[in-house]
Chains A and B, each alone.
Chain A
Amino acid sequence: MSRTEIPLIEVSSPDPRERGRQYGEAARAQIGLSIAYYREGFARTAGLSWDAVLERVPRWNALVEEYLPGIVDEVRGIAEGAGVRTEEILALNGRGELSFSDPFGEEECSSYALLPEATGDGHVYCGQNWDWRADTLDTVVMLRIEQPPAPTIVMQTEAGQVGRQGANSAGIGLNANGLGARFGTGLGIPQPYIRRKILDSPGLDDALHAVFSSRQSLCTNLLVTHRDGYAVDLETTPGRHGWLYPEDGMIVHANHFQSVVPEQLEETYRPFSPDSLYRVPRIERVLRRARDAATPGAVRATIAEALGDHFGYPNSVCNHPDERAHPLDRTTTVASSIVDLTTGEYWMAFGPPCENDYELLPWRLYGSDGASDERSPSTAPAVA
């Protein structure tokens, strides 16, 4: 079975520029790969030269800085640390928003949240399969951001991006799925900044405020879970947002609107990825058994079974490259996560979960002070 090494990157500083430099230095190789992939991708599918892309990106600066103060400095630091241009890091963070029709399509992901009433061990879990271009597999990193006084974040992301999917030391988990529609006009805040602001949140109120105060150009599903046994799924659009609560302690979401079809799309809406229509019930069917799993190990095994499902292969929950697609357009599950928000354990499989074991990251979400002592093995969950 293929095993992909999980690249772990830790940054720590109250100063955004310094955090960025640490990130850029540590992820220099992956950032280089990522720039090469998107440079070619923009040219091939959008006919946009990399120079043209870099000319367009600075127009986001004011919008982004107003929404998430300090983040532009972090981006500059990443560029410095990686030895690339600031505009290149801005482009990696805006790769979905750079042209009206995303030349890279949408991420086909399957997310879940399980609350205590749905788990035999009474823990709160969240996570997802993140399905993206097979060629970007080597650009994915696990990033831990210690940024006092804001919460410490653990997340999986494409190298150079400031936010994607993860959880924080305040017990907030974030999972995300593309919804494949766009109807906004004008400039919108790129997704990585919105997601980072959610993960920067010390409280649920801040997290929801980050979602509902953003001006965006894409439709994206954001599943927000809290360790106190709360989850809400937010179908965000440039206009109205829809939302869903768990049923029997469970939410599963993939890539179609489940709560409301936006008025702007109501006459013509069809899911961009119809396999989303079976991925949700397939996962639900397995996760319903999580309440019979008495131990965290048994719950994780149930989640792993759900995320390894091959119904509709290769366009299955556990996603594999479809040989019928163009080589550069083939997708695969690049990372699969199981986050135990109760204990703070963060389990990751890199690559399709049918072939890769979930490994416990050396970072606990929760520690007494968020310092490096979190890395020492701890048996007792620290619940604040």
Chain B
Amino acid sequence: MPPDTTRAARPLPLVEISGADARERGRQYGEQTRPLIERSLGFYREEFERKSGLAWPDVVARVPRWYPLIDDYAPGLLDEVRGIAEASSRTVEEIVALNGRGELRTRDPFAEASDCTSFVVTDEASGDGHVWCGQNWDWRSETAGTAVMLRIRQPGTPTIVTLVEAGQVGRHGANSAGIALNANGLAAPFQRGLGIPAPFIRRRALESAGMDQALQAVFTARQLLSTNVLLTHREGFAIDVETTPGRHGWAYPRDGVYAHANAFTTFVPPQVAASYRPASSDSLIRAERVERTLRRARETSSSAGMHALIVEALSDHLGYPNSVCNHPDPRAPRTFETLASLIVDLTTGEFWVAGGNPCTTAFELLPWNLYEDAEAPARLAAGAVHA
């Protein structure tokens, strides 16, 4: 049965890093998250061995093959990783492995589905005229306690606020240019070989000053995994991109509302067209349920009302425990649950986080407003706007 609805505080740790020097930023990150990184590595070390069939020393030995790809795609970011490793007393390979955890888990024929449900409500649909987005992040129960909210301030680059597993360079978040990224696994690996691990792709998208750069980050990446990426801009533009190692598909909000879970909905890649079935069948419930609730957005009359409606959507229990608000399934050998839930008001820059199931966990407003860095560049209209 669904748990009761008393919401308790379960804040995630806040980590701030800043500076132009990537290595120095990494050191700040590693110092503040050392025990979490250790805990995370404890879990993944065993997980990778089980999933990939690779012994940990083999994983570590092969990880450097990613470096040239990462360096080429996101120059300088490996220096940040080196800094994280230094300050947390781990090897660079271990931190890169944490960033490649999705890619390193892909070979298991018994792989369980990983779930997430993302949403956007644009000014076209919201009762308060704001642009809202966010998601439930559903992941392995054992990783609870390794996630942090990371704020990255780099001169000349938009300031980023992102949820990450400690040691990762990017995951789900938003930036001071008014661009948000939410993501969902699509669990259809159909290509072998090297690809850029997802956290680097997401970080580059989150470093974008404009939607042009964010889309370039997504469309120029050579990747191994299929991932859904929902990009939202505070000017009321949103696009959902179903990314694969080959072709990408895309869709836009319908009447200002869009939700996406873990099934291909814009197209089915030809590589899997003959046999595609969503790895997580409850996806078909979750996206539909969230959209259905959010369609009531225009009936709200305040931002508090919008916020409450979104919490309602993210707390949905149809199909429990494999519901939008995801709970451990006692029948499964390894369990998943909603480890964090994010709500972003891109209009005001407010960012709320619940560090657990939204049905029982309070959403807390982060002390960081996305737009408080006045000098952070937002590459908006530089010329005159035509009358």
A266 is an interface residue with CB less than 8 A from chain B: yes
Among A343-383, those with CB < 8 Å from B are 352-355
A353 adjacent to B386 (CB under 8 Å): yes
Among B211, B269, B384, contact of A312 (Cβ-Cβ < 8 Å): B211
Instruction: Report if B252 contacts A (CB, 8 A).
Output: yes
Instruction: Determine how close the nearest CB of chain A comes to the CB of B271; give it in whole angstroms.
Output: 6
B219 contacts partner chain A, Cβ-Cβ < 8 Å: yes
Given contacts A308-B385, A313-B380, whether A268 and B237 have CB atoms under 8 Å apart is no
Q: Which residues of A contact B381 (CB under 8 A)?
A: 310-311, 313, 316
Residues of B within 8 A of A274 (CB): 212, 215-216, 218-219
- Label chain A's interface by main secondary structure: loop
Q: Does B62 sit within 8 A of A, measured CB to CB?
A: no
Query: How far is A353 from B382 in the complex, measured between Cα atoms in Å?
Result: 13
By a CB distance below 8 angstroms, the chain B residues around A261 are 247
With A274-B216, A282-B237, A310-B381 as contacts: A354 and B247 at CB distance below 8 Å: no
CB distance from A133 to the nearest CB of B (A): 18
Q: CB within 8 Å of B: which of A288-327?
A: 301, 304-305, 307-308, 310-316, 318, 320
Interface contact B383-A318, CB-CB below 8 Å: yes
* B245-271 vs A, Cβ < 8 Å mask (1 yes, 0 no): 011101010000000000000000111
In the bound complex, CA of A313 to CA of B235 (Å): 13
Chain A contacts for B69, CB-based, 8 A: none
Most buried by B among A265, A277, A301, A307: A277
CB distance from B269 to the nearest CB of A (A): 7
Complex formed: what's the CA distance from A136 to B321 in Å? 61
Asked whether, in the complex, the Cβ of B211 is within 8 Å of the Cβ of A278, the reply is yes
Whole-angstrom distance between the Cβ of B158 and the nearest chain A Cβ: 14
Cα(A274)–Cα(B382), bound, Å: 20
Bound-state Cα–Cα, A275 to B379, Å: 14
The chain A residue sitting closest to B243, CB to CB, is A270
Interface class of chain B by DSSP? loop
Q: Which residues of A contact B379 (CB under 8 A)?
A: 313
A354 to B239, CA, bound (A): 26
B228 to chain A, nearest CB (A): 15
A: number of interface residues (CB 8 Å): 33
At the interface, yes or no: A205 with Cβ under 8 Å from chain B?
no
> Do A268 and B246 touch across chains, with their CB atoms under 8 A apart?
yes
* Interface pair B386/A277, CB less than 8 Å apart: no
When the two chains form their complex, are residues A310 and B235 in contact, meaning their CB atoms are under 8 A apart? Answer: no
CB contact under 8 A between A267 and B386, given known A278-B211, A312-B211: no
Interface of chain A residues 208 through 231 with chain B (CB within 8 A):
none
Of all chain B residues, the one with the shortest Cβ separation from A356 is B386
Please state if A278 and B215 are interface contacts (CB–CB under 8 Å).
yes
Q: Counting CB contacts under 8 A, is A105 at the interface?
A: no
- Tell me if A310 and B246 are in contact (CB < 8 A): no
Counting chain B residues whose Cβ lies within 8 A of the other chain, the interface size class is 20 to 34
Asked whether A271 is an interface residue with its Cβ less than 8 Å from the other chain, the reply is yes
Q: Chain A contacts of B211 at CB under 8 A?
A: 275, 278, 311-312
List chain B residues, Cβ under 8 A from A301.
387
B219 touches A270 (CB 8 A): yes
Q: Which residues does chain B contribute within 8 Å of A314, judged by CB atoms?
A: 212, 382
Question: What's the minimum C-beta distance from B212 to chain A, rounded to whole angstroms?
Answer: 4
Q: Is B210 an interface residue (CB 8 A)?
A: yes
* A281 in contact with B252 (CB, 8 Å): yes
Within the assembled complex, what's the spacing in Å between the Cα atoms of A98 and B47? 53
Tell me the chain B residues, 306-354 only, with Cβ under 8 Å from chain A: none
How far is A269 from B243 in the complex, measured between Cα atoms in Å?
Answer: 11
Known: A270-B219, A274-B216. A304 touches B386 (CB 8 A): yes
- Cα distance, A353 to B387, chains bound together (Å): 10
User: Are B212 and A270 closer than 8 Å at their CB atoms?
Assistant: no
CB-based nearest B residue for A306: B386
CB distance from A85 to the nearest CB of B (A): 40
Contact B210 A315 (CB under 8 A): yes
- Does the CB pair A277–B239 fall under 8 Å? yes
Chain B residue contacts of A270, Cβ below 8 A: 219, 247-248
Determine how close the nearest CB of chain B comes to the CB of A257; give it in whole angstroms.
Answer: 10
Find chain A residues with CB under 8 A from B210 CB: 312-313, 315
Residues of the B chain whose Cβ atoms lie less than 8 Å from the Cβ of A310 = 380-383, 385
Within 8 A of A (CB), among B204-245: 210-212, 215-216, 218-219, 233, 235, 237, 239
Closest residue of chain B to A358 (Cβ to Cβ) is B386
Residues of A within 8 A of B237 (CB): 278, 281-282, 311
Complex alpha-carbon distance, A308 and B269, angstroms: 36
Min CB distance, A286 to chain B, in Å?
A: 10
Check A271/B219 contact, CB under 8 A, given A310-B382, A313-B382.
yes
Tell me if A311 and B382 are in contact (CB < 8 A): no
On whether the beta carbons of B271 and A267 are closer than 8 Å, the reply is yes
Which residues of chain B are within 8 angstroms of A305 by Cβ–Cβ distance?
386-387
- Chain B residues positioned under 8 Å from A315 (CB to CB): 210, 212
- Taking CB atoms, residues of chain B closer than 8 Å to A316 are 212, 381
Q: Which residues of A contact B233 (CB under 8 A)?
A: 311
A275–B215 touching, CB < 8 Å: yes
Q: In the bound complex, how far is the Cα of B383 from the Cα of A307, in angstroms?
A: 13
Residues of A within 8 A of B250 (CB): 277
Chain A residue with the shortest CB-CB distance to B235: A311
In the complex, what's the smallest C-beta–C-beta distance from B199 to chain A, in angstroms? 20
A282: which B residues are within 8 A, CB to CB?
A: 237
Instruction: Give the contacting residue for A354; candidates B212, B215, B246, B385; CB below 8 A.
Output: B385
**A interface list, Cβ under 8 A from B:** 1, 261, 265-271, 274-275, 277-278, 281-282, 301, 304-305, 307-308, 310-316, 318, 320, 352-355
A-B contacts, 18 listed (Cβ < 8 Å): A267-B271, A268-B246, A269-B247, A270-B247, A270-B248, A275-B211, A275-B215, A278-B211, A278-B215, A281-B252, A304-B386, A308-B385, A311-B237, A312-B211, A314-B212, A314-B382, A352-B383, A354-B384
Question: What are the 3 tightest A-B residue pairs by CB atom distance, in nearest-first order?
Answer: A308-B386, A310-B381, A274-B215
- Sample of 8 further A-B pairs with CB below 8 A, known A281-B237, A318-B383: A1-B384, A268-B246, A270-B219, A304-B386, A308-B386, A312-B212, A320-B383, A352-B383
